């Protein structure tokens, strides 16, 4: 009976490991979306307040979230705020076409193989994870509306003032 319970817990455990507020940001690495394709290690962002945003060219709310995130990045980057946009498109050309219409200045990585999305257990598009300076996820956002942008601005300000 114990062996059966242990086996069942191993099968169910990935569900229990979903990244939620209070959990650590996964220490994953992903390739930059641009031509250089350098790796970006999420663990190296520790010490900054970070927003990890999962987006795709086919995601309608992403058309609103991306300009808002870029505005927040430009507003707070000098105070230690970083944004990492994790693209979920299978074809890089789709992401590049989207970015020509909706350009951003923050870091972008590709995740066509879902490695990063699985590590964060992404359930909706867009999904965003606001992480404090110690690498702890403080807020999780699913979807995006104008009120999400206002809330996110308030949360970022609080984390930058907090120093955590």
Query: What's the CATH number where 109 sits?
Result: 3.40.30.10
Q: Is residue 11 part of a domain?
A: no
Distance (Å, whole) CA 148 – CA 50: 16
Examine residue 12 and state whether it is found in any structural domain, yes or no.
no
Whether 10 has a pLDDT exceeding 50, the answer reads no
118 falls within a domain: yes
pLDDT of residue 4: 34
Structure tokens at 75: 């507003």
Containing structural domain, residue 83: 19-162
How confident is the model over 90-123, as pLDDT tens digits? Answer: 998 999 999 999 999 999 999 988 999 999 999 8
Helices (H), 77-145: 92-101, 115-120
pLDDT at position 28, please?
94
E strand spans, the chain: 29-31, 39-41, 49-55, 81-87, 107-110, 127-131, 137-142
- Examine residue 6 and state whether it is found in any structural domain, yes or no: no
**Residue 4 maps to a domain:** no
**Average pLDDT value for residue range 69-77:** 98
Q: What pLDDT digit, counting tens, does each position of 48-65 carry?
A: 999 999 999 999 999 999
In a domain, 8, yes or no: no
Residue 104 lies inside a defined structural domain of this protein: yes
Model confidence, pTM:
0.86
In a 10 Å sphere around its CB, with 0-12 CB exposed, 13-18 middle and 19+ buried, how is residue 32 labelled? middle
The answer to whether position 1 is within a domain reads no
Answer yes or no: is pLDDT of 13 > 90: no
Q: Residue 67 in 3-state DSSP?
A: helix
Total structural domains within the chain? 1
The alpha carbon of residue 59 and the mean position of all alpha carbons in its chain are separated, in whole angstroms, by 15
Report how far residue 160's alpha carbon sits from residue 164's, in angstroms, rounded to the nearest whole number.
8
- How much helix, strand and coil, in percent to the nearest 5, is found in the chain? 45, 25, 35
């Amino acid at each position: 009976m114990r062996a059966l319970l242990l086996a069942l817990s191993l099968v169910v455990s990935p569900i229990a490991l979903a990244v939620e507020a209070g959990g650590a940001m996964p220490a994953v690495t992903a390739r930059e979306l641009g031509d250089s394709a350098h790796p970006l290690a999420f663990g190296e962002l520790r010490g900054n307040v970070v927003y990890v945003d999962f987006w795709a060219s086919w995601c309608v709310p992403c058309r609103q979230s991306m300009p808002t995130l870029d505005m927040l990045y430009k507003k707070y980057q000098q105070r230690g705020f970083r944004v990492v946009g994790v693209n979920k498109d299978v074809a890089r050309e789709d992401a590049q076409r989207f970015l020509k219409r909706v350009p951003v200045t923050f870091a972008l990585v590709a995740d066509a193989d879902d490695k990063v999305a699985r590590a964060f257990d992404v359930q909706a598009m867009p999904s965003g994870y606001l992480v404090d300076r110690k690498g702890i996820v403080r807020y999780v956002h699913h979807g995006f509306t104008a009120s999400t942008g206002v809330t996110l601005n308030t949360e970022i300000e609080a984390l930058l003032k907090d120093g955590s």
